[in-house]
Chains A and B, each alone.
Chain A
Amino acid sequence: MSISFIRKMGTVAVLAGLAALCTRMPAQGPFGTPNESSAFSIPEKQLVQPAELNRILADKNGDKPLVLQVGSRVLFEQAHIAGSEFAGPGSQQAGLDQLKKRVASTPKDKAIVLYCGCCPWNRCPNVVPAFKLLQSLGFSQIKVLYIANNFGSDWVEKGYPVARGH
């Protein structure tokens, strides 16, 4: 057994260990620990990928979730997921009040999808407060749309349906 082969095997073992570590933290940054305000703190099971949400919304027979944009109104007016509603920016108290008012009469088991897309996922200030508010209100079917970069590149440019205006 050559030294080079042993070296290669050693490197493979180290990298496999790193890979295993990463897969154990799927909702977190690649090498960091998420803080409570980071979108990485949202559990992976509560995330929905853009392609999956698009499939759900396009399914004519399936139940549609209530899709709420919790980012800025200016961004919403330029483009938003067709059928979604503006519910106020989650980073501001006024936005959270608006969201609370919007879901006041919504059944607690209604499927709700929150999204923003203002900034890269780990920088979004809106989704975590909105998600926590709905959790505290007792909603049991909350999902957050995972937008890695921004709404433009992760939804609009994929060709998924958008609407403009209010």
Chain B
Amino acid sequence: MRAATKARRWHSRCVWLVRVLLFAGLLPAIPVAPVCFAAPPGVRSIVDKHAPQINRVDLDGHRVDLKSLHGKVVLLNFWATWCAPCLIEMPAFSTWQRQYASQGLQVVGISMDDDAAPVRQLVARLNAKYPIAMGDAKLGEQYGGVMGLPLTYLIDRNGVVRMRFQGETDLKTIERQLQTLLNHR
């Protein structure tokens, strides 16, 4: 009984605090990572559709063919050398590539830089453990418009796009969704 009263009191205090924060205009000031699992309204969503084909040569001269990756879970990451949040994510993607390779993960990076030279330099420095190819406006449009970075898609073993993460995203959130797809055989 006492516990229930205590809980009610806390609940009432929390509600009251939220009211005060709203009144003071402070709630909108709390930074929230812009995460979305589906494309927001207005953007052509490719979630739950077959991933548009990618058939390009990566920076090491190897072919990246999305069709040949059927049966694997693909983490497709659009990034650029000048995108600070992208550079935070990439070492984690390299770690995941090593950690989850045996479960069928393949990370693919697509650079949206205008030129390949700075990309080569940075990839060498970061020692990325997955293929990285250059992207372009056409590929961006096929993927619903890459109009802000980073942008990451999770593609299931059947080649269907399942998740979309736009902007700075909590890596634990991406990893959790990734593990769910990897566990689904």
Give me the interface of A with B, judged by CB distance under 8 Å: 8, 11-12, 15-16, 18-19, 22, 29-31, 72-75, 77-79, 89, 91-92, 117-120, 123, 125-126, 149-153, 156-159, 164
Contact = CB atoms under 8 A, between A and B. Distances in A.
Interface stretch (B16-24, B97-105, B152-160): B16-24
Nearest to A149: B34
A150 B166 contact: yes
Contacts of B80: 72, 118
Contacts of B20: 11-12, 15
Interface string B34-49: 1000001111000000
28 contacts: A15-B20, A15-B21, A18-B24, A19-B25, A22-B26, A29-B31, A30-B29, A30-B30, A74-B112, A74-B113, A74-B135, A74-B140, A78-B137, A79-B145, A89-B82, A118-B80, A119-B84, A120-B85, A120-B168, A123-B168, A149-B34, A150-B147, A150-B149, A152-B43, A153-B34, A153-B148, A156-B147, A157-B41
B83 interface: yes
B52 interface: no
Contacts of B17: 11
Contacts of B140: 74-75, 78
Contacts of B136: 74, 77
B170 interface: no
B114 interface: yes
Contacts of B31: 29-30
Contacts of B24: 15-16, 18-19
User: Which 6 A/B pairs are nearest by Cβ-Cβ distance?
Assistant: A150-B148, A152-B147, A157-B42, A77-B137, A30-B29, A19-B24
Most buried by B among A78, A79, A156: A78
B16 A8 contact: yes
Interface in B143-176: 145-149, 166-168
Given A72-B82, A117-B147, A156 B42 contact: yes
A153 B40 contact: yes
A92 B82 CA distance: 9
Most buried by B among A12, A15, A77, A120: A120
Interface string B73-91: 0000000101111000000
Given A118-B148, A153-B40, A157-B43, A74 B29 contact: no
B149 A118 contact: yes
Given A19-B25, A22-B29, A78-B141, A123 B85 contact: yes
Most buried by A among B34, B80, B85, B113: B80
Contact of B167 (A15, A30, A150): A150
